[in-house]
């Protein structure tokens, strides 16, 4: 399997213990394979697919989904959640909504939903 690394080289000196020669070359190699593979999977999505996902999910959730190729290995996904102080979740059946939404522009549908949410909130 091909592995990708990021390398950093710097000069180091051991002034405390004097156990090393006066100057040492420090080579730090970091495995970045998983991050590169994730970025490649993001790049493979078409603009339309990525746009649709970005409308539904925050970016960190999309990255999580793409980083787990074989499905979700854990049922505990609480680390993906964010905290929001003011949230309204409204489940409702609005008579005529589906037929209306087919006839008007998407932005008008959005404003109608927003107005309904404000109406429910302000009661």
| pLDDT for res 101 | 86
Q: Mean pLDDT over all residues of the chain?
A: 76
Torsion of CA 1, 59, 88, 116, to 10 degrees: -120
Domain ranges across the chain: 1-74, 84-123
| pLDDT for res 53 | 82
pLDDT at 68 over 70: no
Q: Render pLDDT for 6-26 as a digit per residue (tens, 0 to 9).
A: 888 877 766 655 666 666 677
Q: HSE of 103 in the Cβ direction (CA atoms, 13 Å)?
A: 5
């Amino acid at each position: 399997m091909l592995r990708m690394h990021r390398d950093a080289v710097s000069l180091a000196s051991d002034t405390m213990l004097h156990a090393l020669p006066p100057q040492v070359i420090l080579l730090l190699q970091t495995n970045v394979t998983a991050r590169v593979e994730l970025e490649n999977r993001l790049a493979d999505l078409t603009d339309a697919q990525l746009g649709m996902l970005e409308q539904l999910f925050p970016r960190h959730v999309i990255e999580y989904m793409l980083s787990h190729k074989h499905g979700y290995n854990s049922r505990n996904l609480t680390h993906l959640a964010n905290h929001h102080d003011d949230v309204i979740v409204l489940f409702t059946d609005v008579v005529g909504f589906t037929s209306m939404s087919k006839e008007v522009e998407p932005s008008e549908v959005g404003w109608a939903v927003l107005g309904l949410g404000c109406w429910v909130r302000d009661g």
